């Protein structure tokens, strides 16, 4: 049986370093046990908005159990001096103060890492993999002196000692999905649209990542599941684009809430393989002049540092392209060509294709 290497992209920032520990103590591939359970249980969150993000303590407890780990100590520490670096020293702290992540001095959120002893301080081990609007987070090891560690934990942290338990044997899928009606309606009807869409950006990111993890853990991945995951990916990107537009005072694409409801409803059948197989999306290029295509390609090149190759349709293969750069490309095209894209055109299916971007320009009244 082949052993699956740890794909850090499947995990959120609390899960990923427990997955690292599980593979260390039980062997490569153990991390996939964390994907056995797929759950949609929203709970009350900040600002009257529901969240699928569990409390840290609950998430650590359940994740450790699924991975065959035991928490022998849990403490709220007030300073870095109270840490006990070692092979199972797992810490959750505010990413705003952590110098190795792109959230440093940018955003407050709970983030996990491992602390190992080193000769002149400690070594931070962090397997988190994500692209953010402030840059990329990638797995790595970072040496910190004792003073640097203290500076990274000015408000203390949650510290756990984690050791090996029984190797997880049960890989039976468990799917627990609550009704999504009130969840979708709350985000759709919340009076603070900027706050709602900012929150929904995180929600759809978490929902998408958890479904990818579940699919990887319970595979093989069928065409139906692959199509469902692609729809979740597209939705998460669309929500991010909508959030950026609303924060700039522009129109909101209301259709995304219907798409969210459809994705959540499809969860009930997707992992039984009963969804239709994916079909490759195409974008109509009729009516796109060479001049317009050149102008759009030039804007793309300005943002990404390289223009799409001649005849290219999709942007996904260009180094540096991501959903965060997608919004920069849209804004650059609007600025260069003097147009404003319609809210309904802010969907990844159009914005990740050269011709789709050209059609959006034409729909907005542009000609060149």
Tokens linked to 82: 């109270």
* Tens-digit pLDDT profile for residues 51-110: 999 999 999 999 999 999 999 999 999 999 999 999 999 999 999 999 999 999 999 999
β partners of residue 38:
175
By CB neighbour count within 10 A (0-12 exposed, 13-18 middle, 19+ buried), where does 280 fall? exposed
**Strand pairing category for 37-40 and 174-177:** parallel
* Tens-digit pLDDT profile for residues 242-270: 999 999 999 899 899 999 999 999 998 88
Stated pTM of the model: 0.79
Give the model's pLDDT for residue 284. 47
β partners of residue 123:
116, 143
Phi, psi of 360 (to 5 degrees): -65, -35
Lowest mean pLDDT among 14-18, 79-83, 254-258, 298-302: 298-302
Domain spans of the chain? 8-164, 179-270, 290-363
Give the model's pLDDT for residue 122. 97
290-363 has which fold?
Answer: 1.10.1200
């Amino acid at each position: 049986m082949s052993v699956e290497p740890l794909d850090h992209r499947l995990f959120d920032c609390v899960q990923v370093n427990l997955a690292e520990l599980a593979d260390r103590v039980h062997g490569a591939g153990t991390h996939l046990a964390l994907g056995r359970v797929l759950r949609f249980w929203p709970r009350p969150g900040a600002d009257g908005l529901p969240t699928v993000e569990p409390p840290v303590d609950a998430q650590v407890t359940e994740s450790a159990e699924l991975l065959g780990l035991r928490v022998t100590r849990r403490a709220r520490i007030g300073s870095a001096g109270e840490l006990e670096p070692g092979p199972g020293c797992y810490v959750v702290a505010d990413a705003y103060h952590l110098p190795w992540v792109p959230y440093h001095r940018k955003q407050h959120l709970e983030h996990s890492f491992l602390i190992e002893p080193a000769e002149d301080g400690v070594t931070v081990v962090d397997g988190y993999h994500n692209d953010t609007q402030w840059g990329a987070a990638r797995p790595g090891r970072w040496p910190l002196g004792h003073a640097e560690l203290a500076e990274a934990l000015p408000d203390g942290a949650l510290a756990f000692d984690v050791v090996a338990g029984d190797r997880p044997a049960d890989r039976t899928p468990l799917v627990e999905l609550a009704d999504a009606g009130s969840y979708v309606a709350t985000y759709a009807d919340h009076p603070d649209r900027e706050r709602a869409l900012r929150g929904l950006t995180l929600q759809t990111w978490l929902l998408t990542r958890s479904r990818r993890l579940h699919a990887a853990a319970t595979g093989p991945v069928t065409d139906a599941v692959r199509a469902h995951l692609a729809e979740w990916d597209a939705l998460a990107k669309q929500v991010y684009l909508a959030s950026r537009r609303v924060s700039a005072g522009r129109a909101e694409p209301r259709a995304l809430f219907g798409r969210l409801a459809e994705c959540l409803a499809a969860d009930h059948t997707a992992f039984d393989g009963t969804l239709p197989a994916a079909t490759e999306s195409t974008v109509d290029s009729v009516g796109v002049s060479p001049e317009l295509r050149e102008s759009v390609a030039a804007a793309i090149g300005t943002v990404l540092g390289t223009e799409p190759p001649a005849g290219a349709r999709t942007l996904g293969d260009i180094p540096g392209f991501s959903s965060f750069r997608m919004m920069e490309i849209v804004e650059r095209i609007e600025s260069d060509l003097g147009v404003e894209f319609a809210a309904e055109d802010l969907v990844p299916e159009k914005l990740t294709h050269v011709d789709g971007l050209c059609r959006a320009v034409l729909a907005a009244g542009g000609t060149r």
